[in-house]
Amino acid sequence: MAETVTGGCLCGYVRYKYNGELEAANYCHCQDCRKTTGSAFNVGVRIQSAALRIVAGQVKSYTKNGNSGNKITREFCPECGSPLFTRAPAKPQFVWLKAGSLDNPQLVKPVHQIWTDSAVSWAYIDPELPSFSQNRQIV
């Protein structure tokens, strides 16, 4: 069942709406995610790109090759720098929404973690959560 969720950046310049179901959420421990979040990991929620609308402001983006060797584009607020979305040009149908940018982050429950070979030892995540030493295949 589709629902509308909303979110945005820290300063309020960028606001978005998503009309659809929040899909799989995960923890990512890769070095790039740690650098872009300034934390031990990123929490991303896969959504359908066609159902995402930026309703205020505009994002700035940065593209580079990720740990997988594939290009990855990170989108953030140009005013406050809040990370908002990640896109993989090889998978244009998806966007990975930064869970902390949601107005109601309680909607998110990560179902697995990836790039655990890069995880820092001081951040605890439930060891029962399915884990992948690198990326997992996206269908």
Domains and CATH numbers, the chain: 3-115 (2.170.150.70)
Give the number of residues written for the chain.
Answer: 139
pTM of the complete model = 0.82
Q: How many CB atoms lie within 10 A of CB 41?
A: 23
Angstrom CA distances, 78 to 16, 81, 102, stand at 15, 6, 18
pLDDT at 137: 56
Backbone angles phi, psi at 113, to 5 degrees: -130, 145
How does pLDDT run across 29-70, given as a tens digit for each residue? Answer: 878 888 888 887 888 999 999 999 999 999 999 999 977 788
Instruction: Show Cβ contacts of residue 126 under 8 Å, excluding neighbours closer than 6 positions.
Output: none
Beta bridge partners of 71: 65
Whether pLDDT at 88 is above 60: yes
Residue 35, pLDDT score: 87
